Structure 1
Amino acid sequence: MEVTQLEDDEIVNKKKSELKRQGADAFSKEDYLNASVFYTQALKVDQFDATLFSNRSLCWLRLGDGKKALLDAIECKHLRPNWGKAYYRQGAALMSLEDYSSAYDAFSHGLELDPESEEMEKMLWEAMDLK
């Protein structure tokens, strides 16, 4: 029984990895819509992968859908609350929605988790200027 479970897990992991790779390939070609589709399919395989939510959030952001980007960023943050990138994604989505005060808070918290992030610091200052 355990061997079967291990084999099933391996198949699931391979499928998720393949979908994630296809999403990354589409993203690198600036095909953000198809990239989001691949990440969505991968999330059907593993709904607890914060990286997939982070990646799909960026796709939505590039497609100009700040609301969907924010929803995925929030889910990412719930799954990995100590990951600075989750707060970066949330802040970027909030910036696109012109909620600069909340974006500032997200970037500020993200910088506490990842104080070396120059991009996060840059966005923090931009949010502060705009709020």
Structure 2
Amino acid sequence: MYPLFRELRAARGEEVAAAAVNKMVEGLLVMEEAFVKCSKGKPFFGGESIGYIDIAFGSGLPWFNVVEKMANMKLLDETKMPNLVAWADKFYQDPAVKDVLPDVGKLIEFNKMVMAKEAAAAK
């Protein structure tokens, strides 16, 4: 998903941005299918507790929130990927990660700074 985040951040123009968002949603739909298949009805990818896949994918969840807030849109859509949304909620609430995930507000400020530096360098 990281290359898609970069593609979206670099997108100039509505059509290019919309195409990047569509790619991200397609990727999330694949993750929805993978979650259903791997979790076998349990709360996390590997079962009852957080495992490696949960950590690897879940560490990017705050960035999904950044994109959603900055672009005023929804990537993790409950109607399209209900199992993944439920997983994300459980992941965020788990004591093992809830106090270590970065603050979305701080990530938004960081992202704005990076975007400004990239824009300045492009001139």
TM-score with structure 2 length normalisation? 0.35
TM-score with structure 1 length normalisation? 0.34
Higher relative contact order (CA 8 A, sep 6+): 2
